[in-house]
């Protein structure tokens, strides 16, 4: 079903691109637009992930350069049954993250330095679980190609005034067609972006909460990221607004209008859905089943979810919640785990 929806969406984007070409250059412009769209689809399939990472100034990290971040992603990928994606960082103080790649075998996740500094380990895990959910659902290819085509349509509309409108190019609509291309086509591309992002963000929230095991970790992270994105600009995202829907929270400072014009669902609605999910799991954050640890030597403790030695779990005391799957209680002082919205 996801493959069918992706094919239908790409066909719609290609048709929109051809329509813009027809408005600018008539039948000849439509043929050129078709060839250009086909070439962009092929280019996007193989290279859009690299382009998105480059446009956001992302750089790759490994277990040696950032063991904390890398092991969080590694543990989550194992829990989700996914191949280990490439791990990137974005050098910006705005807390945010995104995933890209044409399939799970060629996926990449990226988190900003601001997110890694401002969020707790549990909240980082929830955010990266959300991004891995996009990888697992194969949203990354669709969202990346849509971003590429939407940007191209907007650019084509902007250039329409300079290269279209003359009867010499067999344009049956003349200057009116150019105006339509300039105004309507970029707006239509934006609507498609909104539909892609909104319909898939809720599902990624749900699956991400299942992967990390704690819906309220993601709820807490979304609240922090949204507040950070409101006050901290992201210059790379501002220069490339067609990429905004790739992020977990809209990174654009000028996109705080109502739901009709937002590339993302309302953060409050997403948090409410996660809180409802947590209540459905038993009122307090429920523990997801941990994967069975790999065989180890008798004198070595089994590895924890981030690749660290797991500490023995003490028996639960009367009146206290049981430890969660990361070896911490959801409430209590800092040493026992950060307080979240469930405290």
Binding residues for Zn(2+): 130, 134, 201
**DSSP per residue, 172-222:** TTHHHHHHHHHHHHHHHHHHHHHHHHHHHHHHHHHHHHHHHS-HHHHHHHH
In angstroms, the Cα distances linking 265 to 44, 192, 337 are 26, 14, 29
By DSSP bridging, strand 107-112 and strand 86-90 are parallel
Q: Which residue in 122, 79, 75 sits closest to 342, CA to CA?
A: 122
Q: Which residue in 196, 262, 179, 188 sits closest to 226, CA to CA?
A: 262
Q: Which of 63, 105, 123, 131 is catalytic?
A: 131
> Strand (E) positions, the chain?
58-61, 86-90, 97-101, 107-112
Report the distance separating Cα 23 and Cα 298, nearest Å: 72
Residue 60 appears among annotated catalytic residues:
no
- DSSP label at residue 109: E
Catalytic positions, written as ranges: 131
């Amino acid at each position: 079903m996801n493959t069918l929806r992706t094919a239908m969406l790409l066909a719609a984007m290609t048709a929109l691109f051809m329509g813009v070409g027809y408005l600018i250059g008539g039948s000849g412009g439509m043929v050129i637009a078709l060839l250009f769209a086909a070439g962009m689809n092929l280019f996007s399939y193989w290279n859009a992930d690299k382009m998105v990472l480059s446009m956001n100034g992302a750089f790759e990290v490994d277990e040696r350069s950032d063991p904390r971040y890398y092991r969080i992603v590694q543990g989550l990928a194992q829990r989700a049954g996914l191949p280990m994606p490439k791990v990137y960082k974005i050098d910006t103080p705005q807390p945010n993250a995104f995933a890209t790649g044409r399939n799970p075998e060629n996926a990449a996740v990226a988190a900003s330095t601001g997110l890694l500094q401002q969020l707790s380990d549990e909240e980082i895990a929830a955010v990266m679980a959300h991004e891995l959910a996009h990888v697992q659902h194969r949203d990354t290819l669709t969202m990346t190609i849509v971003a590429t085509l939407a940007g191209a349509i907007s650019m084509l509309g902007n250039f329409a005034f300079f290269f279209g409108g003359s009867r010499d190019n067999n344009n049956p609509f003349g200057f009116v067609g150019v105006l339509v291309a300039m105004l309507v086509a970029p707006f239509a591309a934006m609507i498609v972006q909104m539909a892609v992002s909104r319909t898939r963000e809720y599902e990624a929230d749900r699956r991400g909460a299942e992967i990390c095991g704690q819906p309220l970790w993601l709820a807490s992270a979304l609240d922090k990221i949204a507040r950070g994105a409101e006050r901290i600009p992201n210059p790379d995202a501002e220069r490339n607004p067609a990429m905004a829907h790739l992020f977990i929270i809209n990174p654009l400072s000028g996109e705080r209008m109502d739901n009709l014009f937002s590339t993302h669902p309302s953060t409050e609605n997403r948090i409410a859905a996660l809180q409802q999910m947590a209540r459905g799991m038993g009122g307090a954050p429920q523990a997801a089943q941990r994967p069975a640890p790999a065989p180890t030597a008798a004198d070595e403790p089994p590895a924890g979810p981030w690749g660290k030695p797991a500490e023995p779990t003490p028996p639960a005391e009367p009146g206290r919640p049981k430890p969660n799957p990361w070896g911490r209680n959801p409430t209590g002082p800092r040493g026992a785990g950060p307080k979240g919205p469930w405290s």
